[in-house]
Amino acid sequence: MPEVEVKNIKNEVVGSIQLSEEVFGAAVNEPLIWEAVQHYLANQRSGTHATKTRAEVSGSGKKLWRQKGTGRARIGSARSPLWRHGGTIHGPKPRDYSYAFPKRKLRGAMKSALSSKLAESQLTVLEDFSVAQPKTKEVQAVLSKFDLPGKVLVVDAGDQKNFYLGARNLPGVRYVRSGQLNIYEVVRSDSIFITKDALLRLQEVLSR
């Protein structure tokens, strides 16, 4: 059963916590993680792109000249896709890109991604993220005490409004609640900060 240190915002070890082998000791399954990420990205697509067919563009439907005898190619309407400002052939239309994905596979992908982060020492467990004021300077002071390369994902169980307001202006720092955590945020982050309470809640959900 894996065990990790619990630190405070001063980067001091204040305890430890036993993690579930089922959740944080899972084998890394990269194809499954890829599937889950693609599912998440597909669900985020708005699908509002649209083009007009020849029936929707403006313009007369009158035949421009007679069929034969002019020496020119035959043409029926100025709205033809062959003409400038004409309709679009087989263009995109509004559609829903989302699709169903088994919950069991989604949980498996999340376990695999979290196990990978833990194995690569990219997961840090903290007591809490409480700061006195909602200021970027205070949040930056907390993060500067840790050697955090790249993008940082902060996961909390409660509503740490001060930390959220102070962190939202920092480039590369993303704050989410444990109930909103998704596979894409986990994979794209280089370091994960998670409170002890959030970790226990997340572990309980993934163990079902």
Tens-digit pLDDT profile for residues 128-146: 877 778 888 888 888 888 8
Domain with CATH 3.40.1370.10 in the chain: 3-46+100-206
CB atoms inside a 10 Å sphere around CB 45 = 12
Which range has the worst mean pLDDT, 81-90, 99-108, 110-119, 147-156?
147-156
Torsion-angle region of residue 177: left (phi > 0), alpha (psi -120 to 50) or beta?
beta
The fold of the 3-46+100-206 domain, in CATH, is: Ribosomal Protein L4; Chain: A; (3.40.1370)
Residues 6 or more apart whose CB falls under 8 angstroms from that of 202 comprise 23, 114, 155, 178, 181, 194
Q: What is the reported pTM? A: 0.81
Alpha-carbon distance 50 to 132, whole Å? 49
pLDDT (tens digit, 9 = 90+) per residue, 59-69? Answer: 888 999 999 99
